[in-house]
Structure 1
Amino acid sequence: MTETTIKIDRPLMRTAFILVLGTFMATLDATIVTVGIDTLAGEFDAPVTDIQWASTAYLLAVVAAVPASGWLADRFGGRRTWLVAIAVFLAGSVLCALSWSVTSLIVFRVLQGLGGGLLPPTGQALLARTAGPQRIGRVISVVAVVPLLSPVLGPLAGGSILAVADWPWLFWVNVPIGLAAILLALRYVPAPPPAAQGAPFDALGAALLSPGLAVLVFGLTELDGGTTTAWTALVIGAGMLTAFVVHGLRTRGVPLIDPRLFTRPPFGAAAFALVMLGAAVFGTMFLLPLYLQTGGELSAFETGLLLAPQGVGAAAASVLVNRKIDAVPPRTMVLTGIALVLLGTAPFTQLTHDPHDALIALSLLVRGAGAAMIGAPVMALVYSRVKKEELPRASGALNLLNTVGGSIGTAAVAVILQSRLTANAPDVPSAYADTFWWVLAFCLISALAATRLPKDRLTR
């Protein structure tokens, strides 16, 4: 492989930067509002449980939107779909800032989530098609670090905004970034022709997959209460997803997401590794801030500062991944990353010994570096092995699984934490320490899936 073959030129890096602005906004907004829950509850004179739906509604809308991203990009083109998604996201942001009640805020968060859910998969597919299989590894190593930064930067940004401004600025902050992204994309991002302009929309698949996922995630988010509604939602959601798989295997048309993708090496192993990574990363970023603010009595801003080393580790490791992703086999890099995540998670199983803040920061630094070495090689591997016409749907499937993995991980550790708090009361650190052992288990399961990734390098 010659150096000119893998050269990353300025136009490609400019395109990557523009597209990553959309992903940054969408992923950051999933966490930035969590810091303002108490503020919003006071503003609208509503219980926290009602305000929490502002975050849940956004998540459900994202999950519902992602499956349609592939068809939309195939039908209307990747750039056009991405631009419309940005516009919808900005419209939702403006309306959220102008909300006059809890109900209006929740409705507008749904609109915002529909646009935000389309941005990462559409942007990644467009970037993969622009870069081509020879360059996608090095480019995706930069882009993939953004979702790892959002759980860290979201609370920090939200706390900083609320320290100097009113709550609407949690949403107004998106407007200048989004407008800049639109103007830059119109000028610099290429517009490849749609891959399957005449393909009919899989209406039955959409009626089963998106609502099924939304109902399933809703059930998971409510599971810690142990209510009949939560279990009913889980059963209905699982049933709809099963029906979608059967439909996807039998239909003669193009399904919204082709279940057969998961039977083709290395897609199945890569997808499963991403699911477990999402569960481990987002599960930890749910547990640790909660522990630091309740057990450690830190403010939201102080918590964000203590969590910042994870973002630093992810950013630093992305530089290494960028340089080595074409030279090191995906299996080697991913297993190394999982080992680092395990190493960085282990100290949190010892919270009963009240670890020093420096140890927590160092552990998060190691976790961030490890996570950056997992996501980018997995995505680059898939994007380099699928056909150009399959890129939008493959990207949608990967992002969907990562999102669902994060939802499952967060819901699972919430349920486990609640049970351990009840069993260990009033020993709160023991309850959190016990729950972190489950996060380690997620990492080990991810390692088993990673052993099935290819031994060969991305480019030879």
Structure 2
Amino acid sequence: MSAQPPNTVPPESSRPESPQPDSSGDKLDRAVLQIAGVVVLGAIMSILDVTVVNVALPTFQQDFGATYAVVAWTMTAYTLALATVIPLTGWAADRFGTKRLYIAALVLFVLGSVLCSTAWDITSLITFRVVQGLGGGMLMPLGMTIMTRAAGPERVGRVMAVLGIPMLLGPIAGPILGGWLIEIASWHWIFLINVPIGVVALVAAIVLLPSDSPESSESFDFVGMLLLSPGLALFLFGVSSVPETGTIASARVLVPACVGALLIVAFVFHALRTEHPLIDLRLFANRSLTVAVLTAALFVVAFMGSALLLPTYFLQVRGETTLQAGLLLAPQGIGAMVTMPIAGRLVDRIGPGRIVMTGVVVIAGAMAYFTQLGADTPYSVLLPVLFVMGLGMGCTMMPIMTAALQTLTHRSVARGSTLMNINQQISASIGTALMSVLLTNHLQSRELAGAAIASRSNPEIVAGLGPEAISQGFQQAADAFGSTYIVAFGLVVATLVPAFFLPRSRPVRPAGDPAAAAPVH
């Protein structure tokens, strides 16, 4: 392979196959765009299903006669399944080929969706959500791998911008779609909606994705799997229990989180001594990837953690419906869609460093405004600030992903994308737990805030305390949200430190890696 010129198609790709992307040019050709379309369909299903079920939790309580703590497992089980399967994706992609594995993941996800729609009690629904999560967990890292290999390092920024669309739309469209489907039909349709999308994605994947050559030489790291997959699942379970317990100092949080952390640490020692580990930690020798991982970790903790604050503010303080809250968040998605394709092109030309720094500064400016939230902050100001935050978001998350992947060799991309997805899952869980606990504590420390929020569903509280006290309580609640945003703002500002070291030049093709820019075969 090394004897071939950089843009020579390997001999085994001469047999008839799907159209091959041409990564030698600067523009995204038709083949790459077709591949991107397939990957985006899969990503939309996977990401939407994380948020769309949120809306259905009260319905599950009513239909299955279960408590909120029990029905919340429909979310937790899905997340834990993602965490369990993501570490296996890099090895499986090399062993079986990305196309075959992506098709298998789509089939598993759609099958899980159909099974969820047939659930007869809460236990069966939680079980079927695990099946769905096992398929969904592979879709995003596989999609990143397929698109990065197809485009080559010179165009990673643009294809990552395409993949970022569902990542941005999921949190906004999920509540809107879920609320609408439950209102006009039933909760079953939040799962059945995946079937037609999945069938289209499956057919498109079979026809349009280029075949690749599995590498069967590497042995499977069973010890690594027994350490990392349970370790991640236990750690995330412990962290995800923080909002429910309201404190870190709880056995339900500490025991699984500490056991999980110990297993992850044991995996680190194991991986550094193993020739073919489940996750290749030697990738951290790549400076760009290391800096990108640190930047992404801080940014995801701050941004994804704070992502739950504004929807909750709209619901609890402003009294909006779930559907209205989703629509009010739309300016953020619109802003991101404006800058994301522009940022993708610029990253490929000048590197991600300046783009990410600009995006983080813009987000920090918008978040500074949210620290001053009031009970009657005008929407005429709030929505434009959300749009500005979206502009910044379009310049951050996917360019950070690009920084991690664009300097990796063709052979390392699958492991690199898996590593970034694990990093994102852990950081998002930590951020959500952190912001949930901070918000809960701030609300509890304000004596009238809880009563004001409760008055939304119990008008008798208003009669008992009086309208003036309730109005004061809503202001206290808004102050609690503002105080929580102060921590998020500080974390966003801290992201500037590692972001400063991101590459600030056009990506250079990894030395001795002609496959990185050759058409996928």
Distance 2:41 2:300 in 1: 21
Answering whether residue 144 of structure 2 is matched by residue 134 of structure 1, we say no
Alignment match, 1:160: 180
Whether the aligned pair in 2 keeps the contact of 1:137 and 1:458 (CA below 8 Å) is no
Q: What do residues 235-259 of structure 1 show as CA deviations (whole Å, max 9, x unaligned)?
A: 11111111111111112x2111122
Cα displacement (A) at 1:4: 6.8
Q: Which residue of 2 aligns with 1:258?
A: 280
Relative to structure 1, the CA distance from residue 211 to residue 222 in structure 2 (aligned partners, 3 Å threshold; closer, same or farther) is same
Partner SS for 2:187: coil
What displacement does 1:459 show? Answer: 5.9
Pick the aligned partner of 2:100 from 73, 80, 84: 80
Query: CA separation of 1:254/1:4 partners in 2, compared to 1, >3 Å: closer, same or farther?
Result: closer
2:240 to 216, 221, 227: 221
- Matches of 1:349 and 1:433, distance apart in 2: 4
Residues 416-425 or 29-38, more deviating? 416-425
Q: Is the 8 A contact 1:205 1:256 kept in 2?
A: yes
RMSD: 1.6
- In structure 2, the partner of 1:458 is 507
Residues 1:401 and 2:401 are matched in the alignment: no
* 1:236 equivalenced with 2:285 (yes/no): no
Q: Could you tell me how far 1:173 is from its partner in structure 2?
A: 0.3
After superposition, the C-alpha distances for 1:424-452 in whole angstroms (9 at most, x for unaligned) are 23221121111111111221222111011
**Distance in 2 between residues matched to 1:184 and 1:260, nearest whole Å:** 35
**Aligned-residue offset at 1:457:** 2.4
Identity %: 36
Is contact 2:157-2:345 (8 Å) kept? no
Relative to structure 1, is the Cα distance of residues 388 and 329 closer, same or farther in structure 2, using a 3 angstrom cutoff?
closer
1:327 partner letter: R
1:202 aligns with 2:202: no
- Could you say which structure has the larger radius of gyration? 2
Paired positions, count: 456
Asked if 2 retains the 8 angstrom alpha-carbon contact of 1:20 and 1:143, the reply is yes
Shift of 1:31: 0.5
TM-score by length of 1: 0.96
Amino acid at match of 1:278: V
Q: Confirm or deny: 8 A CA contact 2:103 2:202 kept in the other structure.
A: yes
Matched, 1:299 2:348: no
2:370 maps to amino acid: F
TM-score for the superposition, normalised by structure 2: 0.85
One-letter code of the match for 2:493?
A: L
Counterpart position of 1:445: 494
Asked if 1 retains the 8 angstrom alpha-carbon contact of 2:349 and 2:505, the reply is no
Given that 1:202 and 1:256 are in contact with CA atoms closer than 8 Å, whether structure 2 keeps it comes out as yes
| Residue 175 of structure 1: aligned partner | 195
Gaps of 5+ in 2: 1-22, 449-475, 510-521
Residue 424 of structure 1 contacts residue 430 of structure 1 at CA under 8 Å; is this kept in 2? Answer: no
Match of 2:349 in 1: 327
Q: Quote the residue 1:373 is aligned against.
A: 395
Runs of 4+ residues deviating >3 angstroms: none
Q: CA deviation at 1:353?
A: 5.9
2:69 to 40, 49, 56: 49
Counterpart amino acid of residue 67 in structure 2: P
Amino acid corresponding to residue 249 of structure 1 in structure 2: L
Distance 2:302 2:180 in 1: 27
Is the contact between residue 277 and residue 371 of structure 1 (CA under 8 Å) also seen in structure 2? no
Tell me, which stretches of 5 or more residues in structure 1 are unaligned? none
Structure 1 residues 257-315: Cα deviation after superposition (integer angstroms, max 9, x where no partner): 12222242011110111122222232122111112111111110000000111111111
